[in-house]
Structure 1
Amino acid sequence: MNTDRLIAVLAADAAPVGPHVVEWRIASALSIAACGAVALLLLSYGVRADLAALVATPIFWAKLAFALTMAGAALVATARLSRPGVAVGRVWAALVVPAAIALPVALVVLWLAPRDARAALLLGNTWRTCSLNIALLSVPGLIAILAVVRSLAPTRLHLAGAMAGLFAGAIGTAAYCLRCPETSVPFWATWYLLGIAIPTLVGALVAKKALRW
């Protein structure tokens, strides 16, 4: 069988791909990540008893904006890394922006605070569990996002896996804002980022097997 004949046989049953298949699959992964994180939050921890009062405070929206901004940038980066030959481009800069804003603010808050209050601002009451809780809430999203990324034939596996983990971690962080009792900027700028870093690392580590197609 010559090459032209082989190509014709392989392409005989090929069907056209919808114009928005990538967007639909990423959207489905986003839905699973968000619903899974919220469901796991409700089943495992529940929301804050004073959530109604909390949503009236600027700090709640600052934390949520931090998580959602990172999730939005990670969503775009994940979609681009899921397709061969598509550059991530300026999205890399957008991924850095939330941390680039939160961390300097956290340092200023610590600098201006009395020396004996700095540890409490940084550690709060839940530093031992915060990052692990975020990592747990990211699990449904990480599984769904990795499955979708694999179906879109990525070629930069470790990078795509890391970005899928970051995406899931940011969604898990947004859900955790409904539970987290901490309001100090140094606290969440540190432990939220660490919580996001855990699924990011897991995504990169499992990418070679999870994303091979």
Structure 2
Amino acid sequence: MKTDDLVSLLSNSGGAADPMMVSSRYWQAMVISTGGALILLLIGYGLRPDLSVMLGTPLFWARLAFPAVIAVGALMVVARLARPGVSVGRSWTVMALPVIVVIVAAVLTLGLAPASERLSMVLGATWRSCPFNIAFLSIPGFIANFWLLRNMAPTRLRVAGAAAGLLAGSAATIVYCLHCPEMEVAFWAVWYIAGMLIPAVIGAVLAPRLLRW
């Protein structure tokens, strides 16, 4: 068969792409990310005992909004990087903005606090375990996001892998907030970001092998 005949056959026989298919895959990945993280949290760590009280405090919701906005930005970036030739545009700023806000707030709160309290504000009581707990909770989302990308056509593999890992990490951080006792902004600015970066770095490293097509 000649090349022109093959192209003609493929173009005539191909049906219209389902516009809901891609959207459905994104939703499936997000459900697996958050649902899987929640299951791991309940099995491994449990909810903080005063969660019902914390739900009534603005600071708790501010802490929850921090990874949630990052997750929205990461999802926007993943959605664009999953398609070849699509520019990321300003989606990066959606991820960067909450990080900048939290870092600035952390610097301000540390500057206003007595020098003797600053270290404890950064370290809290769980700094040794927090980033690794977040990375552990991100495993279902990491798998789901890479499954999503493998069914798409990313070309910037390392960047796409990093964004997929960050999306998994931010979704895991949202869930981890239901357990974590730390309420200092300085703590979030260091250890929450570190926890989200672990799957992002792993995603960037593994992407050329896992996403090659």
TM-score tier by shorter-chain length is over 0.9
Give the AA of the match of 1:165.
G
Q: Which residue of 2 aligns with 1:156?
A: 156
Q: Which residue of 2 aligns with 1:77?
A: 77
Q: 1:102-181 maps to which residues of 2 (within 5 A)?
A: 102-181=102-181
Quote the offset at 1:137 in angstroms: 0.4
Cα deviations by residue, 1:120-149 (Å, 9 ceiling, x for unpaired): 000000000000000000010010011111
Q: Which residue of 2 aligns with 1:98?
A: 98
Cα deviations by residue, 1:82-133 (Å, 9 ceiling, x for unpaired): 0011111111111100011000110111111111101100000000000000
Give the AA of the match of 2:60.
F
Give the AA of the match of 1:145.
N
Give the AA of the match of 1:101.
V
Q: Which residue of 1 aligns with 2:17?
A: 17
| TM-score (normalised: structure 2) | 0.96
Quote the offset at 1:155 in angstroms: 0.8
Q: In structure 2, what is the Cα distance between the partners aligned to 1:129 and 1:12? A: 57
Residue 185 in 1 paired to residue 185 in 2?
A: yes
Quote the offset at 1:176 in angstroms: 0.2
Look up the SS of the partner of 1:126 in the other structure: coil
Residue 208 in 1 paired to residue 208 in 2?
A: yes
Q: In structure 2, what is the Cα distance between the partners aligned to 1:87 and 1:21? A: 21
Which sections of structure 1, spanning at least 5 residues, go unmatched?
none
Quote the offset at 1:5 in angstroms: 2.2
Look up the SS of the partner of 2:38 in the other structure: helix
Aligned 8 A contact 1:162 1:204 in 2:
yes
Which sections of structure 2, spanning at least 5 residues, go unmatched?
none
Quote the offset at 1:45 in angstroms: 0.5
Q: In structure 1, what is the Cα distance between the partners aligned to 2:100 and 2:22? A: 30
Quote the offset at 1:153 in angstroms: 1.0
Q: 1:30-109 maps to which residues of 2 (within 5 A)?
A: 30-109=30-109
Give the AA of the match of 2:59.
I
Look up the SS of the partner of 1:160 in the other structure: helix
Aligned 8 A contact 1:22 1:79 in 2:
no
Quote the offset at 1:10 in angstroms: 4.9
Q: Cα RMSD (Å) of the superposition?
A: 1.2
Aligned 8 A contact 1:84 1:153 in 2:
yes
Give the AA of the match of 1:169.
G
Quote the offset at 1:17 in angstroms: 1.4
Percent of aligned positions that are identical:
47
Give the AA of the match of 2:147.
A
Instruction: Tell me the matched-pair count.
Output: 213
Q: In structure 1, what is the Cα distance between the partners aligned to 2:105 and 2:93? A: 19
